[in-house]
């Protein structure tokens, strides 16, 4: 029996000036199939999905939906062709409520009327077990919740083909499991799904995988017939070791960061509740926790972006909380924020400029009153090769970087800046496995140089591989700080869910 | 041979508008604006040909006319640059109007106490007075914004109103009023404080040179200095700038100070280069026109100079146009607005392209 593919891509090519982001790609997705796109950062996955969603016009090639050739000039046309998409970077309007975002953004518009839109959204939420308050402003939602809004929005259009570009990058493991349950229900209803993910565990759940490398299709394989290692080898061109427990630093020194009873209130409810923590020089302390349990607030207090309502932060014995981000940064503190495009990068500056963001007055980037373009250029070239950032060069505009490459620019800058303390909130989010391995090595190098590191990650693998101790956050509290050697995944998992364990040290 | 049934034209969004596309768009916008202006001239009962000829003759027809055009362009260059610096950082300084007043008033306050001193004392004091006066007045909006979170659009507009009345008060029965005069104006200033003329036979004065040099400096500031870097970053994502350790409150204040200083210079070129006395009529309107000039000039210093000269030419040529044809000179303001609209449309159009593709 030969079914007609839901989606056929034939010889699709997309160029950005000299760069060939998609080079002669052909693939098929059958009805009810979960099809993964796998590839390193900058391999061209988002570009391909943008072509499928009418955001970019391919330079050559053909797209067929249910056997019919389609011309997708705009997302509106893609939606009418039955294609829905959740973007890697959200395209929601923060000042609109959930309903408004869903109804407005999908082109089906206000004609439907607010009440009907609302009831359809509620129907979708209850069918798939998504909990969202439709009247909340999107700006007030956590990144994970915004992801659900995007998903509801795509379902709302009645898509038969759904493209999910790294949807789980910002979801907690629990939320990701829920998403996969929904995905499986959808494929059961004969919907086709194209999923982009860097997480091998998720990729392995798909029906087929297409592997991209440097814009070319390496091949499409049936997932059940390949192993994880084979896929990574296809993707990177070499085999990559899974993260393993790294040896401890030879010695760790005096306490660098000391947090005492940190409390922060929002609407009179504590978002940080009496949190205490110490980090010594040459030590990595991990923070585990479901996102939205105070991690972002903790990091923002430490970086000087928010002022705690109670408690103390000491850096090398000196009180920190009266300082501005500028002063804190000047003390050798690097900060990798969790929302990279909001807090970490200036899209209109090029890579070279972004690499000195916040340091633009420093003598080493200046020549008299002027910015030393040559120094910026040299610095950028070093970073681009050291972090293998896929870009045309130092003057490539940051807004055109792929998600993972944008993160690498931030890492390069902050790792260079941090001499005393490095604050990393979700540093490996959205990175490919090769890049994650690289970040791990860099974090260990910083540690061995004597830097104190606070590392929050939703990937317990990251934390177990790198940290000496792991603190677990729940509802703004640090429930326990465990010695990694003695801790187990289960123990941490149950603390993350708020069950206090006896082993708390 | 092309089978026309199989191809169609379609509009697509351009990712990177090419410079050539911009030039074409500019030309088309200019042609369209000229067309609409012609219709206006016809409606006013004049032949478009004659009207345009008079405009051109009045603005560039002689050395004297050209000089006058540049005199008119001078304050616009300063206020245009003021808007350019602030708007690039997405700080909406609508207060150039008030800052022009503040610059002129502060300079006058300093200078009229120095009457009798030689030019090399008075002229630098006048220029410094313009800079400081404009900067301080814009700084007030800056403090309101950074200390008390008052939106700069509202505060700068309010401050525009306030200073007009303050000047009126000072001139009407206040200490600056002309003894025995009927008009709201100061007496003539000491000739030794006036900005020197560049040529004989034209009113073109030193202020124009100052404007051109300033445009060059602003260009350098924006593209090559750390402050320019911060302005660019603030215009794109000021939060990231703050997170990564830049004091953005100070930046906002500094940008407003610089913007205000530029506007303040427009005040002194009019008072000390053209009218030789301080009166509201000498300095009114340049702040708002500067915003239009800055937008027409694409928030680029060179563009600001070009747009200012264009506006100066229109203002200057209008008089001759009114004399030679029956077109009222006030129509010039309509022409300015038409230019703005067409150019904005042209630039928006740059982001699209027409492409021929095979029909599905
Ligand atoms: N609008 C654009 N203009 C120029 N180059 C672009 C543009 N968009 C993407 N690119 C480049 O195309 C390449 C592919 O980018 P793409 O975003 O598709 O990567 P990706 O596979 O999604 O990576 P990631 O996993 O990091 O999200 C990158 O080198 C990127 O810099
Ligand atoms: Mg991507």
Buried b (16+ CB within 10 A) or exposed e, A21-40: bbbebebbbbbbbbbbbbbb
Buried b (16+ CB within 10 A) or exposed e, A381-406: eebbeebebbbeebebbbebbbbbbb
DSSP 8-state code for residue A427: T
- Full-prediction pTM beyond 0.80? yes
Closest residue by Cα to residue A401 from A47, A29, A57: A47
A83-92, A278-287, B314-323, B332-341: which has the minimum mean pLDDT?
A: A83-92
A298 CA distance to ligand 2 middle (Å) = 28
Do strands A68-70 and A19-29 pair parallel, antiparallel, or not at all (unpaired)? unpaired
A40 CA distance to ligand 2 middle (Å) = 9
Dihedral (CA of A310, A313, A318, A323) sign: negative
Structure-token match 């502060």, residue found: B106
Residue B355: closest CA among chain A residues belongs to which residue?
A57
Contacts of B242 in chain A (CB under 8 A): 305, 325
CA–CA min distance A317, chain B (Å): 21
pLDDT in tens, B50-107: 999 999 999 999 989 999 999 999 999 999 999 999 999 999 999 999 999 999 999 9
CA–CA min distance B20, chain A (Å): 16
Mean pLDDT of B278-303: 93
Contact B240 A326 (CB under 8 A): no
Q: Reply yes or no on whether the pLDDT at A248 is more than 70.
A: no
What tokens were used for A348?
A: 């209109």
Contact B244 A369 (CB under 8 A): no
Phi and psi at residue B318, in whole multiples of 5°?
-60, -35
Contact A47, A22 (CB under 8 A): yes
Topology agreement, domain A7-236 and domain A255-339+418-504? yes
Q: Reply yes or no on whether the pLDDT at B354 is more than 80.
A: no
Closest partner CB to B229 (pick from A56, A342, A353): A353
Phi and psi at residue A313, in whole multiples of 5°?
-125, 125
Residue B354 contacts A, CB cutoff 8 Å: no
Contact B236 A343 (CB under 8 A): no
Domain boundaries, chain B: 78-296
Q: Count CA within 13 A, CB hemisphere, residue A351.
A: 29
In which band, very low, low, confident or very high, does the pLDDT at B360 lie, cut at 50, 70 and 90?
very low
Phi and psi at residue A375, in whole multiples of 5°?
-65, -40
Q: Residue B67 and residue B23: Cα distance in Å, rounded?
A: 28
Contact A343 B243 (CB under 8 A): yes
Ligand 1 atom nearest the C-alpha of A43 is: 21
Average pLDDT, chain B: 89
In which band, very low, low, confident or very high, does the pLDDT at A267 lie, cut at 50, 70 and 90?
confident
In which band, very low, low, confident or very high, does the pLDDT at A1 lie, cut at 50, 70 and 90?
very low
Mean pLDDT of B309-316: 93
Best probe of the A interface among B10, B224, B230, B244, by most A CBs < 10 A, is B244
CA–CA min distance B230, chain A (Å): 8
A90 CA distance to ligand 1 middle (Å) = 16
Contact B244 A371 (CB under 8 A): no
In which band, very low, low, confident or very high, does the pLDDT at B356 lie, cut at 50, 70 and 90?
low
Scan residues 136-175 of B and list those with Cβ closer than 8 Å to A: none
Mean pLDDT of A374-400: 90
Q: Reply yes or no on whether the pLDDT at A111 is more than 50.
A: yes
Contact B16 A349 (CB under 8 A): no
Residue A361: closest CA among chain B residues belongs to which residue?
B226
Residue A332: closest CA among chain B residues belongs to which residue?
B245
| CATH class of domain segment(s) A7-236 | alpha beta
Contact B236 A347 (CB under 8 A): yes
Enumerate residues 6+ apart whose C-beta is below 8 A from A341. A89, A347, A406
To the nearest whole percent, how much of chain B has pLDDT over 70? 92
Q: Which residues pair with A221 in a beta bridge?
A: A209
CATH number of the domain located at residue range(s) A255-339+418-504 in this protein: 3.40.50.300
Contact A329 B245 (CB under 8 A): yes
According to the model, what pLDDT value does residue A244 have?
64
Closest residue by Cα to residue A259 from A313, A307, A320: A313
Per DSSP, the residues of A303-341 read HTSS--SEEEEEETTEE-TT--HHHHHHTTEEEE-SSII
Enumerate residues 6+ apart whose C-beta is below 8 A from B32. B342
Closest residue by Cα to residue B131 from B24, B219, B207: B207
Contact B93, B86 (CB under 8 A): yes
Q: Residue A482 and residue A258: Cα distance in Å, rounded?
A: 17
Phi and psi at residue A286, in whole multiples of 5°?
-90, 155
Contact A360 B230 (CB under 8 A): yes
Contacts of B251 in chain A (CB under 8 A): none
Scan residues 68-127 of B and list those with Cβ closer than 8 Å to A: none
What tokens were used for A74?
A: 């705009």
CA–CA min distance B90, chain A (Å): 13
CA–CA min distance B185, chain A (Å): 42
**Strand, helix or coil at A151?**
helix
Domain boundaries, chain A: 7-236, 255-339+418-504, 346-400
Contacts of B224 in chain A (CB under 8 A): 370-371, 373
Residue B6 contacts A, CB cutoff 8 Å: no
Q: Residue A321 and residue A305: Cα distance in Å, rounded?
A: 10
Dihedral (CA of A334, A340, A345, A346) sign: negative
State yes or no: ipTM above 0.90. no
Q: Residue B229 and residue B235: Cα distance in Å, rounded?
A: 10
Angle between helices A433-448 and A228-236 (to 10 degrees): 80
From the CA of A44, the nearest ligand is: 1
Contact B244 A16 (CB under 8 A): no
pLDDT in tens, A314-341: 998 888 877 888 888 888 999 999 888 8
CA–CA min distance B356, chain A (Å): 12
**Strand, helix or coil at A297?**
helix
Ligand 1 atom nearest the C-alpha of A198 is: 25
What residue owns the CA closest to ligand 1's atom 24?
A: A41
With an 8 Å Cβ cutoff, the interface of chain A facing chain B consists of 16-17, 56-57, 69-71, 73, 303, 305, 324-326, 328-330, 335, 337, 342-349, 353, 357-361, 365-366, 369-371, 373, 413
* CA distances from residue A156 to A30, A46, A82, A200 in whole angstroms, order as listed: 22, 22, 11, 29
What residue owns the CA closest to ligand 1's atom 1?
A: A400
Length of chain A: 505
- Ligand 1 lining (C-beta closer than 6 Å): A 16, 19, 21, 39, 41-47, 88, 390-391, 400-405; B 15
* CA distances from residue A490 to A175, A243, A305, B167 in whole angstroms, order as listed: 18, 18, 34, 76
Q: Residue B50 and residue B58: Cα distance in Å, rounded?
A: 12
Per DSSP, the residues of A339-405 read SIIIII--TTSBHHHHTTTT-TTSGGGEETTEE-HHHHHHHHHHHHHHTT--SS-TTSBGGGS-HHH
Residue A367: closest CA among chain B residues belongs to which residue?
B225
Residue A356: closest CA among chain B residues belongs to which residue?
B244
Q: Reply yes or no on whether the pLDDT at A413 is more than 90.
A: yes
Mean pLDDT of A368-385: 94
Maximum mean pLDDT: which of A170-179, A322-331, B173-182: A322-331
Phi and psi at residue A203, in whole multiples of 5°?
-60, -40
Closest residue by Cα to residue B261 from B89, B99, B90, B95: B99
Contacts of B239 in chain A (CB under 8 A): 342-343
């Amino acid at each position: 029996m030969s079914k007609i593919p839901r989606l056929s891509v034939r010889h699709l090519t997309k160029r950005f000036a000299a760069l060939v982001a998609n080079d002669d790609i052909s693939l098929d997705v059958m009805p009810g199939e979960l099809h993964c796109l796998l590839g390193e950062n900058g391999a061209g996955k988002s570009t391909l999905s943008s072509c499928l969603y009418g955001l970019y016009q391919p330079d050559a090639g053909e797209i067929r939906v249910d056997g019919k050739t389609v011309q997708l000039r705009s997302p509106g046309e893609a939606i009418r062709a039955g294609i829905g998409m959740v973007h890697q970077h959200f395209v929601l309007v923060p000042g609109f409520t959930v309903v408004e975002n869903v109804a407005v953004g999908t082109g089906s518009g206000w004609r439907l009327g607010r009440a009907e839109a609302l009831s359809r959204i509620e129907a979708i939420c209850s069918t798939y077990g998504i909990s969202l308050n439709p009247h909340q402003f999107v700006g007030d939602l956590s990144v994970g919740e915004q992801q659900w809004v995007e998903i509801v929005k795509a379902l709302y259009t009645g898509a038969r083909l759904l493209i999910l570009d790294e949807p789980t990058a910002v979801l907690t493991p629990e939320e990701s499991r829920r998403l996969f349950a929904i995905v499986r229900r959808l494929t059961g209803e004969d919907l086709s799904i194209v999923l982009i993910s860097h997480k091998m565990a998720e990729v392995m759940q798909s029906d087929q995988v297409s592997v991209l490398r440097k814009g070319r299709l390496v091949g499409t394989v049936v997932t059940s017939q390949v192993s994880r290692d084979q896929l990574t080898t296809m993707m990177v061109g070499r085999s990559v070791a899974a993260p393993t427990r790294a040896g401890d630093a030879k010695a760790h020194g005096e306490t660098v960061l000391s947090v005492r009873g940190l409390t922060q209130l929002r609407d009179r409810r504590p978002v940080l509740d009496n949190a205490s923590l110490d980090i010594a020089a040459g030590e990595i302390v991990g923070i585990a926790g479901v996102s939205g349990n105070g991690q972002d607030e903790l990091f923002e207090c430490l970086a000087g972006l928010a002022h705690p309502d109670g408690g103390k932060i000491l850096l090398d014995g000196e009180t920190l909380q009266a300082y501005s981000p500028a002063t804190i940064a000047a003390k050798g503190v690097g900060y990798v924020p969790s929302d990279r495009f909001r807090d970490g990068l200036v899209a209109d500056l090029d890579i070279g400029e972004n690499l000195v963001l916040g340091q633009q007055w420093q003598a080493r980037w200046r020549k008299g009153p002027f910015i030393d373009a040559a120094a910026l250029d040299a610095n950028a070239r070093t970073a681009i090769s050291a972090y293998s950032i896929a870009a045309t060069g130092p003057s490539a505009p940051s807004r055109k970087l792929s998600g993972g490459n944008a993160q690498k620019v931030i890492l390069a800058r902050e790792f260079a800046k941090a001499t005393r303390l490095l604050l990393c909130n979700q540093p490996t989010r959205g990175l490919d496995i090769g890049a994650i391995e690289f970040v791990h090595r860099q974090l260990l190098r910083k540690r061995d140089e004597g830097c104190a590191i606070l590392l929050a990650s939703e990937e317990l693998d990251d934390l177990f591989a790198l940290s000496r101790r792991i603190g677990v956050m729940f509802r703004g509290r640090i429930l326990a700080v465990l010695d990694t050697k003695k801790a187990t995944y289960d123990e941490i998992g149950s603390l993350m869910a708020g069950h206090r364990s006896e082993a708390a040290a | 041979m092309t089978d026309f049934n199989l191809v169609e034209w379609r509009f697509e969004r351009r990712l990177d508008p090419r410079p050539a596309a911009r030039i074409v768009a500019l030309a088309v916008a200019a042609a369209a604006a000229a067309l609409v202006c012609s219709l206006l001239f016809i409606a006013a009962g004049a032949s478009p040909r004659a009207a345009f000829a008079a405009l051109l003759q009045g603005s560039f027809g002689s050395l004297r006319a050209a000089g006058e055009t540049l005199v008119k362009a001078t304050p616009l260059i300063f206020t245009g640059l003021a808007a350019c610096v602030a708007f690039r950082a997405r700080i909406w300084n609508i207060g150039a109007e008030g800052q022009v007043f503040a610059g002129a008033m502060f300079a006058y306050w300093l200078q009229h106490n120095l009457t009798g001193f030689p030019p090399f004392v008075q002229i630098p004091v006048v220029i410094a007075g313009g800079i400081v006066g404009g900067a301080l007045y814009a700084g007030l909006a800056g403090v309101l914004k950074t200390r008390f979170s008052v939106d700069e659009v509202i505060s700068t507009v309010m401050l525009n109103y306030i200073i007009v009345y303050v000047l009126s008060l000072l001139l009407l029965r206040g200490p600056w009023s002309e003894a025995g005069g009927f008009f709201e104006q100061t007496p003539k200033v000491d000739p030794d404080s006036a900005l020197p003329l560049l040529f004989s036979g034209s009113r073109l004065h030193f202020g124009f040179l100052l404007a051109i040099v300033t445009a060059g400096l602003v260009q350098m500031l924006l593209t090559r200095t750390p402050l320019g870097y911060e302005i660019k970053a603030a215009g794109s994502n000021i939060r990231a700038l703050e997170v990564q350790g830049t004091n953005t409150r100070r930046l906002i204040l500094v940008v407003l100070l610089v913007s205000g200083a530029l506007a303040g210079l427009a005040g002194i070129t009019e008072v000390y280069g053209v009218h030789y006395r301080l009166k509201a009529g000498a300095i009114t309107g340049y702040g708002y026109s500067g915003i239009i000039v800055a937008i027409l000039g694409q928030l680029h210093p060179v563009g600001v100079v070009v747009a200012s000269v264009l506006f100066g030419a229109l203002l200057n040529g209008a008089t001759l146009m009114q004399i030679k044809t029956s077109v009222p000179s006030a129509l010039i303001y309509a022409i300015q607005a038409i230019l703005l609209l067409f150019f904005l449309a042209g630039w928006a159009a740059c982001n699209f392209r027409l492409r021929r593709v095979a029909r599905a």
